[in-house]
Structure 1
Amino acid sequence: MAVERGYWLAWSQISGIGPVFLQRLQQHFGTLQAAWEASPAQLEAVEGFGFQTLQKVVQQRSRLHPEQLLIQHQEQNPNFWTPADPEYPRLLLEIPSPPPLLYFRGEVELLENLGETPLVAMVGTRQPSEYGIRWTRQISTALAKNGFTVVSGLAEGIDTESHAAALKAGGRTIAVLGTGIDVIYPAKNQQLYKQILTAGLVLSEYPSKTPPDRTQFPRRNRIIAGLSRAVLVIEAPLKSGALITANYANEFGRDVYVLPGRVDDYPSQGCLKLLSQGAAPILRELDELLRMLGAIPKIDSVSVSLEPQQLILPDLPPELQQVINVMSSESLPFDMIIQKTGMAASAVSSALLQLELMGLVSQKPGMRYKRK
C-alpha cells in the first residue's frame, strides 16, 4: 500500500484525470501502479478512455516518476492520505469521486476515520438571520455534547457558527476547505482555524498554498457530504452552496435534515425546496433529531451493550444472515449497515428488501432500518 501512495499522487497530476476516472482505473487494473505501467492499448480498454485523454496520459506519464514525486511532494505537504492508506476516511471511499489526495492538519481521531464516531454536517447561508444563528448554536451544541463530530466548511455564517458552537461545547469539529490546507478563507476565521487545529481537524483536497477559487468550493461540498452520515441544512436560499451539499448527500445515500422557515423568508427558500423533495424537518424537540441520528442516550450507572444479538435463522441465505446479524431494535442508517457488514451497497440493498418482504426488517424514514 505504501508504494501505491506515489501512484495516486502521480495520476492526480495528469490533466484530464479526475477522481471518478481514478476510481475507474483502480477498479479496472486492481492497483494504480498496474494502471501506470499499462500499455496504451490496455488503457484504451477502460471505459471513457478516449484518444485525447490517452495522448495526455502517454505524454505526461513519461515525465513523472511516482516515487521521486512522492518524496518531493511530502516536503511541502507532509500530511495527507490516499485511498490506499488505512487511515483514509471509510465513508469517503463509498462515494463515486473520493479525493485522490486528502490533506489534513490538526488532531487526527482514527475512530472518526473508521466510521465509529458519527460525523454530521451542518451547512447553510453565509448571511444567516438571528433565527438561523440561534438554532445553529443549539443544534451544534447538542450534537457535540452527544458524541457527534460536527463537519462544515469554515465559510462565513452557518459554517462558522457550527464550528464555534461545537468547540465551545467541548466537542470536536472538522473543517473542509476549498483552498489549500494552510490558506484560511475568509481571513477573519484565522482564530477559529487555530482553535480547530487544537480540538479537531482541517481537511482539503488541495495542496498547500492553493488560493481560493470559485470552482473549488462546490467540489469541496461533496467531501463534506461524503464524510458525514447526515447533512443538516439550517438556512439556505435557492442558490446556496448548501443545496449543492444536500444534493450530494442525496446522491450518496446520506440523510438530509432541514430547519423549516417561513415561506416568505429569503434565507429559507432553499430549505423549503428541500422539504418539498422529501428532506426531514428539524423540529423543536432536538431529542428526536438526536435519536434519528443515532445518538445513544446517557443512562446514569447503567452499562448498555450496543452489540446486536446474533439472531440465527437457519433458512436464511448467508448474505441475509450477515445483514440481519448487524441489526437491532434501534434503527440504523443504510451506510452504517454497509460499513458493519463490509458488503457492497447493492448487495445490502437487495438483502434489506428481501428481509423486509419476509417481515424480519422494517424501513424507517431517512433510509434507516431496524430489526422487528
Structure 2
Amino acid sequence: MTDERAYWLAWSQIAGVGPTLLMRIYRHFGSLAAAWNADLAALDAVEGIGGVTAGAIAETRASLNPATLFAAHQRDNPDVWTPADADYPRLLTEIPDPPPLLYYRGQVSLAENRGDVGLVAIVGTRNPSSYGKQWTYRLVEALVQAGFTIVSGLAEGIDAIAHQACLDAGGRTIAVLGTGVNRVYPTSNRTLAQQIDRKGLILSEHPRGTGPDRAHFPSRNRIIAGLCRATLVIEAGSKSGALITARVANDYGREVYALPGSLDQPQSRGCLEIIAGGAQVILGETPLLEALGAIPQLDAMPNHAAAPASSPSAPPTPDLPPRLVPIFQAIPPMPPEAIALDTLVQTTQLDTSSLLAALLELEMLGVVSQLPGMRYCRT
C-alpha cells in the first residue's frame, strides 16, 4: 500500500490546491489516499473545489503515480515531514494551512515537535535601532534561561540578532526559511546558518535548491507563527513583514506581544499600532516570563475512549444549534477545568477561525466562558 506521505506530496503538485484547501480535503476524507481515489462528484463536496480545480485534479491524477513521485523526491530530499508523520510539529497540525511538506536540516528535537518545549517567535525590522538590538538580546537571554526555544526567519536585522543572541546564550533556535534549507538568503547570514545547523534546526516548506522568491516570504511567516505559542514583535514599521507574522499568529489564536517604543521612531510605529489593536505590551523580562508562564501547557491528545455525552454523570446539553453542540460537548463543564484552544482544534477538527467564531457565539449565548490563555469552560 502506498505511504500516506506520498499523497501529501502528490496533492501538493496539483494547480489550485494550496495548503488551506489541501487541509480541507484531508479533513473531509480522513486521508489523502482516500481523497486521491475519490470520484470528482465526491470531491465537489469540499468547499473551494470549483470546476477549474476539479479539472486540474483529474488531469494530475491520471498522469501521476504518488509512490513513484515520492520515491524520486526523497532521493533529493530525504529529510522531510508531512502531517502523516508522527514527528511532524504538533502545533502546525492545528493551523488551517500547515505546510504539506516540511523540510529540515540540523538537530531535531522531538520534544519541541511534540510541544513539550515552549517555542517563542521573535520577529522585527531589518533595520533595528540600538534600543531594538539591546532589548532583543535581553529578552532572548531571559527566554533561553527559562527553557524556551527561539524561532525566527533568518532575515537581516531582528531575526538574525535573535538567532545569534540565542546561540550566544547557549539556547536552541529554529530558523524558518523562504528558500530551500540548503539555500541561505541573505547570503550574509550563511555563517549564522551554519551555526544553527550545528546547534539548532532549519525548516522550510520548499525543497532543497529552491532560491529566493518574494512570494515565499509572507507564506514563510505563517510557519513561524504556527510553530509557536507566542510571537514577540521587537521593532516594526507600519508596513513591516513582521506584522504579517503577528497578524497570522493572532488569527491562529496564539499570543502576540510587542515592544513599545517612541512615536518619533519609524521602527516602533508598527509595534504601537498592534498594541493599540490588542497585542500585549512587553514591559520587561520578568513580566514577559510571567505572562508566558500563564499560557497553559498543551493538553494530552484527546482520549476518544472517554464516556459519551449521554453518560449519567454528564451535564445536560442546552438547546443549541446542531453545529454548536459538538463544540459545546468538547468543553469541560466548569472551572477550574478548562480546555486550551489548541486542543479544541484537534478535538473538533475545525480550522481555527471557524472554531473561534463558534466559541464567540457560545459565549454570547452565555453557555461558555473564556479564561486567560485562550482556555474555555462551560459557564
For normalisation by structure 2, the TM-score amounts to 0.83
Q: 2-side partners of 1:291 and 1:113: how far apart?
A: 23
User: How is 1:289-300 mapped onto 2 (pairs within 5 angstroms)?
Assistant: 289-294=288-293
2:309 paired residue number: none
Q: Partner of 1:74: helix, strand, or coil?
A: helix
Among the aligned pairs, what percent are the same residue? 52
1:172 paired residue number: 172
Q: 1-side partners of 2:89 and 2:270: how far apart?
A: 29
Say if 1:327 and 1:118 are closer, same or farther in 2 by CA, change over 3 A. Answer: farther
1:311 paired residue number: none
Decide whether the 8 Å contact of 1:146 with 1:295 is kept in 2: no
1:240 paired residue number: 240
Decide whether the 8 Å contact of 1:179 with 1:216 is kept in 2: yes
Q: 2-side partners of 1:148 and 1:164: how far apart?
A: 15
Structure 1 gap segments, 5+ residues each: 297-305, 308-313
Q: 2-side partners of 1:223 and 1:11: how far apart?
A: 19
Say if 1:197 and 1:282 are closer, same or farther in 2 by CA, change over 3 A. Answer: same
Q: 1-side partners of 2:316 and 2:144: how far apart?
A: 40
Q: 2-side partners of 1:65 and 1:16: how far apart?
A: 19
Counterpart pick for 1:367 among 370, 374, 378:
374
User: How is 1:131-170 mapped onto 2 (pairs within 5 angstroms)?
Assistant: 131-170=131-170
Q: Partner of 2:159: helix, strand, or coil?
A: helix
Q: 1-side partners of 2:194 and 2:94: how far apart?
A: 30
Q: 1-side partners of 2:333 and 2:158: how far apart?
A: 39
2:92 paired residue number: 92
Q: Partner of 1:289: helix, strand, or coil?
A: helix
Q: 1-side partners of 2:330 and 2:11: how far apart?
A: 37
Say if 1:271 and 1:10 are closer, same or farther in 2 by CA, change over 3 A. Answer: same
The code of the aligned residue for 1:98 comes to P
Asked if residue 277 in structure 1 is aligned to residue 277 in structure 2, the reply is yes
Say if 1:214 and 1:358 are closer, same or farther in 2 by CA, change over 3 A. Answer: closer
The code of the aligned residue for 1:363 comes to L
After superposition, give the CA deviation of every residue in 1:321-345 in whole Å (9 maximum; x if it has no partner): 986599879xx99446548x95667
Q: Partner of 1:219: helix, strand, or coil?
A: helix
Decide whether the 8 Å contact of 1:229 with 1:335 is kept in 2: no
1:103, CA displacement in angstroms?
0.4
1:224, CA displacement in angstroms?
0.4
The code of the aligned residue for 1:289 comes to L
1:266 paired residue number: 266
2:130 paired residue number: 130
The code of the aligned residue for 1:287 comes to T
Q: 2-side partners of 1:223 and 1:229: how far apart?
A: 12
Asked if residue 255 in structure 1 is aligned to residue 262 in structure 2, the reply is no
User: How is 1:1-372 mapped onto 2 (pairs within 5 angstroms)?
Assistant: 3-284=3-284, 286-294=285-293, 334-335=340-341, 338=344, 346=355, 363-364=371-372, 367=374
Say if 1:204 and 1:233 are closer, same or farther in 2 by CA, change over 3 A. Answer: same
Q: 2-side partners of 1:291 and 1:336: how far apart?
A: 20
The code of the aligned residue for 2:211 comes to P
1:320, CA displacement in angstroms?
8.5
RMSD: 3.2
Q: Partner of 2:256: helix, strand, or coil?
A: strand
Say if 1:272 and 1:42 are closer, same or farther in 2 by CA, change over 3 A. Answer: same
Q: 1-side partners of 2:189 and 2:248: how far apart?
A: 26
The code of the aligned residue for 1:168 comes to D
Larger CA deviation: 268-277 vs 42-51: 42-51
The code of the aligned residue for 2:13 comes to Q
Say if 1:343 and 1:22 are closer, same or farther in 2 by CA, change over 3 A. Answer: closer
Decide whether the 8 Å contact of 1:222 with 1:245 is kept in 2: yes
Q: 1-side partners of 2:251 and 2:33: how far apart?
A: 30
Decide whether the 8 Å contact of 1:2 with 1:84 is kept in 2: no
1:300 paired residue number: none
Q: 1-side partners of 2:52 and 2:332: how far apart?
A: 48
Decide whether the 8 Å contact of 2:330 with 2:347 is kept in 1: no
Task: Name the count of aligned residue pairs.
Answer: 350
Q: Partner of 2:171: helix, strand, or coil?
A: coil
Decide whether the 8 Å contact of 1:124 with 1:159 is kept in 2: yes
Say if 1:12 and 1:294 are closer, same or farther in 2 by CA, change over 3 A. Answer: same
Structure 2 gap segments, 5+ residues each: 301-312, 318-326
The code of the aligned residue for 1:145 comes to Q
For normalisation by structure 1, the TM-score amounts to 0.85
